[in-house]
Chains A and B, each alone.
Chain A
Amino acid sequence: MNDDERNELEREKERWEREVLAPALSASSESRERFETVSGHEIGRLYGPWDLPDADYVRDIGFPGEYPFTRGIHSTMYRGRPWTIRQFMGFGDPDESNRRLKYLIEHGAPGLNVAFDMPTIHGLDSDHPLAHGEVGRNGVPLDSLEDMERLFADIPLAEVSTSLVIAYPPIPSMYLAMAIDQGADLKRLQGTFQNDSFCRDVAANVRVLPRRAELKLCTDVVEYFTLNVPRWYPISIVGYQIREKGCTAAQELAFNLSDGIEFVKSFINRGLDVDRFGPRLSFMWNAHNDFFEEIAKYRAARRMWAQIMKERFGARDPRSMMIRFHTQTAGCSLTAQQPLNNVVRATIQGLAAVLGGTQSLHTDSYDEAMALPTEESSKLAVRTQQIIAEESGVANTIDPMGGSYFVEKLTSELEEEAWEYINRIDEMGGMLEAVENGFIQREVARAAWRYQKDVESGKQVIVGVNKYVEEDEPPIELLKITQEMEDAQKERIARLKERRDEGKTREATEKLREAAENNENLFELTMDAVRAYATLEEVWDVYRDRYGKFEESSTLVESV
């Protein structure tokens, strides 16, 4: 825009405000004084070219598949390849979960995505006293390589892409051992491990070992896979869960990219080349209620990560600068009241993720505010994505929101807000320090409290909860997980321990122990131990003996 055009536009805008808008506002005011996103970000009445006076299309927005990737990481996006329908699943025991995996594949959800139960996530076997009542309740229990084989029975690993939401070597090594046994070509094997210690720590409150030891074990997995299983994504840097804990969209963006920065530093310190592991980093975001804010968030994330990898870490391969990501619709937005409304929420949220250019997507099931999904509700969640993908036409063109004055402006504003946070975190020394000093936790707690107050004051409407409330809703059918499954799982561990070659198991765990003492990469020796049927807990005990336990401190739960 030249000066004349800019002046002309300014004059026309003022004229409209004076002659059209002002009389309308004096006749009847707007419904609110301030309009804002679910994160509290103020939204203007109207956006236009005046909001992007200095925009440079090629520099700031550019073309898909090219730096800075604002419009998408692939040059053809969904026209070439649709996003992967990847539904998070796991419950009961490995056999039940295997049935559900096959059910999802059969109904057109090819991306496998496994959730583990609380004991497994903590490195405890199903027969540990603390596992009582928790086995299979919110994920699948996995105590040994034998359970991994049950979980993936009849599923050819060379032909699928599997996401395992788990960190550190034990479970990934069970998966790899099984793939090797199946004769899969490791150069072609595809999938993702979550393997994000910060996400576990800050968002999920899963802390087993001291922070630096957990970061080391993440790095072991990344190093091993970078060198040996080149098409695997050995880490998924997760903003999803911290958003679930109540932070804003800009905070999710900033905290997760800072999380990514900390990992890249760790991998470089390990001696890995940024362009070797850079193309194998993946990310995960939340899809919350505010449609445009979420779209802007994904677009800003692409532009920011590209800049971080190129300018900060000196990546040269464009593939290292691409942020490829999975998205899940917001579990925290689901309501137990009028549960079918959640189908609509998942549709809008899933659509935002698609318009934001996600590579894979999980849409939540409508019953998940009360239990894990039934077959029926999980199928409806798959159908939701299929309708977005194949009926709505939204995937026909690349980044259809690009060029919207509003979306471009919001993208830049979120980016700016996130950079401010990233700079503050950098000043503290990085994500590890920002977590250790409680900064991240305090920011999240504050945002969560503000949101709660907004819901309780009615400022933030939640249909069926604080508006359009119905009394006496009929109950819906929910998935039940029985105590018998837990008991049978415990029984299996006992039988495995009787059956296995105890000498071999002990030998393998002792070798692992020595390697841990010497601070070596523990992936391969962990794989040897699980192959010798050491249980999950036995392997973790080696880690716990070596690194000690995480000491909980009160800084983590400071009040607002």
Chain B
Amino acid sequence: MSSINIICLSLWTDRTKTGEKRGGMEKRIRVFLAKPGLDGHDRGVLIVGQALRDAGMEVIYSGLKQTPENLVEATLQEDVDVLGLSILSGAHMALIPRIMELLRESDAQDVTVIAGGVIPREDAEVLVAEHGVSRVFGPGTDTREIVAFIREREEQR
């Protein structure tokens, strides 16, 4: 668990296809999906990854059991636009604020951070209002809503 294990899924990061379609002109949105902490629930994160890829985004997945330090380091190295954090183990209030703090310390506040999983609304409000998470997507979210949110947000930049 010491060094980050970034698994670039071949299908998810197939640049050529969409690049050709778009004439290679438009920059593709780069999303880093990550599983901080010991949580092993990955059904959601894999589904979101598939949906974002199908929507033309470039998706990198951290694999499981990453520390906040590793994730922030990888976020910087990979120069991503969006960091998506998936937590279903209840550790969100310890791990997400730590990740946000490390991003701030690294001057990487421009990365859009979204989160998903089993996160009660009350906690979600704190993460957004006090820690700078852009949005928390709860259970039952339609993946198209996530796609639309990321697109809108990136277009505003």
> Closest CB of chain B to A538's CB: distance in Å?
18
* Distance (whole angstroms) from the CB of A430 to the closest CB of chain B: 23
**Taking CB as reference atom, which chain A residue is nearest B12?**
A559
Expressed in whole angstroms, the Cα–Cα distance for A130 and B53 within the complex equals 30
Whether A456 contacts B143 in the complex (CB less than 8 A), given A449-B50, A552-B5, comes out as yes
Nearest chain B CB to A206 CB, angstrom units:
5
Across-interface contacts of B120 in A (CB, < 8 A): 370-371, 478
Q: Does A392 contact B (CB under 8 A)?
A: no
Could you tell me which residues of chain A, from 347 to 395, have a CB within 8 Å of some CB in chain B?
369-372
Among B55-105, those with CB < 8 Å from A are 61, 63-65, 67, 89-91, 93-95
A133 proximal to B (CB < 8 A): yes
Residue interface bits B94-130, CB-to-A below 8 A is 1, else 0: 1100000000000000000000001011100000000
User: Do B43 and A462 touch (CB < 8 A)?
Assistant: no
A557 contacts the other chain (Cβ, under 8 Å)? Answer: yes
Q: Is the CB of B90 within 8 A of A552?
A: no
Pick the contact of B38 from A134, A245, A337, A465 — CB < 8 Å? A134
- Closest chain-A Cβ to B148's Cβ sits at a distance in Å of 13
B118 and A369 contact, CB distance less than 8 A: yes
B43→A130 contact, CB < 8 A: no
Q: Is the interface of B mostly helix, strand, loop or mixed?
A: loop
| Interface residues on chain B, number (Cβ under 8 Å) | 41
Do residues A335 and B64 form an inter-chain contact, with CB atoms below 8 A? no
CA distance in complex: A466, B144 (Å) = 13
Contacts A137-B91, A559-B49, A559-B53; A118 near B1 (Cβ below 8 A): no
A244 on the interface (CB 8 Å rule)? yes
CA distance A370 to B119 in the complex (A): 6
Task: Tell me whether A557 and B121 are in contact in the complex, defined as CB-CB below 8 angstroms, given that A122-B38, A206-B40 are known contacts.
Answer: no
Known: A448-B47, A557-B9, A559-B49. A205 touches B42 (CB 8 A): yes
Q: How many residues of A contact B (CB 8 A)?
A: 46
Residues of chain B within 8 A (CB-CB) of A129 are 67
Q: Establish whether residues A462 and B140, one from each chain, have CB atoms under 8 Å apart when the complex forms.
A: yes
Task: State whether A205 and B41 are in contact (beta carbons under 8 Å apart), knowing that A372-B90, A475-B121, A481-B90 are contacts in the complex.
Answer: yes
With CB as the reference atom, state the residue of chain B lying closest to A475.
Answer: B121
Once the chains are docked, how many angstroms separate the CA of A408 from the CA of B54?
A: 41
Cβ A245 vs Cβ B43 within 8 A: yes
Residues of B within 8 A of A449 (CB): 47, 50
Given contacts A118-B91, A552-B5, A554-B9, contact A475 B122 (CB under 8 A): yes
Nearest A residue (CB) for B36: A133
Given known pairs A448-B47, A475-B121, the reply for A369 and B139 (CB within 8 Å) is yes
| B118 contacts across to A, CB distance below 8 A | 369-371
Let me know if A132 is at the binding interface, CB within 8 A. yes
B7 within 8 A of partner (CB): yes
- Give chain A interface residues in 291-346, CB to chain B under 8 Å: 332, 334-337
Contacts of B121 in A (CB 8 A): 370, 475
Which of B5, B40, B49 is A204 in contact with, Cβ under 8 Å?
A: B40
* A521, CB-defined interface residue at 8 Å: no
Q: Which chain A residues (458-494) contact chain B, with CB distance < 8 Å?
A: 462, 465-466, 475, 478, 481, 483
C-alpha gap A456/B55 in the complex (Å): 15
Given A449-B47, A483-B94, check contact A118 B39 (CB 8 Å). yes
B38-A119 in contact (CB<8A): yes
Within 8 A of B (CB), among A194-213: 204-206
Q: Report yes or no: B7 in contact with A133, Cβ–Cβ below 8 A.
A: no
Complex-state Cα separation, A131 to B65, whole angstroms: 11
Which residues on the B side are within 8 Å of A552 (C-beta)? 5, 63-64
Cross-chain contact A445 with B9 (CB below 8 angstroms): no
Tell whether A75 is near chain B: CB-to-CB under 8 Å.
no
| Residue A5 at the chain B interface, CB threshold 8 Å | no
Q: Which residues of B have CB within 8 Å of A558?
A: 9
Q: Is B142 part of the binding interface, using a Cβ–Cβ cutoff of 8 Å?
A: yes
B135 to A: closest C-beta gap in Å: 15
Q: Are A336 and B140 in contact (CB under 8 A)?
A: yes
Asked if A465 meets B93 with Cβ closer than 8 Å, knowing A449-B50, A557-B61, A559-B50, the reply is no
Decide: A133 near B47, CB < 8 A? Known: A558-B9, A559-B12: no
Complex contact A133–B46 (CB within 8 A): no
- Let me know if B93 and A337 touch, CB within 8 A: no
| Cα A134 to Cα B67 with chains together (Å) | 12
List the 3 shortest-distance A-B pairs measured between CB atoms, nearest first: A133-B94, A205-B40, A137-B90
Using a CB–CB distance below 8 Å, which chain A residues touch chain B?
A: 118-119, 121-122, 124, 129-134, 137-138, 204-206, 244-246, 332, 334-337, 369-372, 445, 448-449, 452, 456, 462, 465-466, 475, 478, 481, 483, 552, 554, 557-560
Known interface pairs A137-B89, A204-B40, A557-B9; 7 further A-B residue pairs with C-beta atoms within 8 A, sorted by A's residue number: A138-B89, A204-B41, A205-B41, A466-B142, A552-B63, A557-B46, A558-B9
CB pairs A–B below 8 angstroms (21 shown):
A118-B37, A118-B38, A118-B89, A118-B91, A130-B37, A132-B94, A133-B94, A134-B37, A134-B89, A137-B90, A204-B40, A204-B41, A205-B40, A332-B43, A336-B140, A337-B140, A370-B121, A448-B46, A448-B47, A456-B144, A559-B49
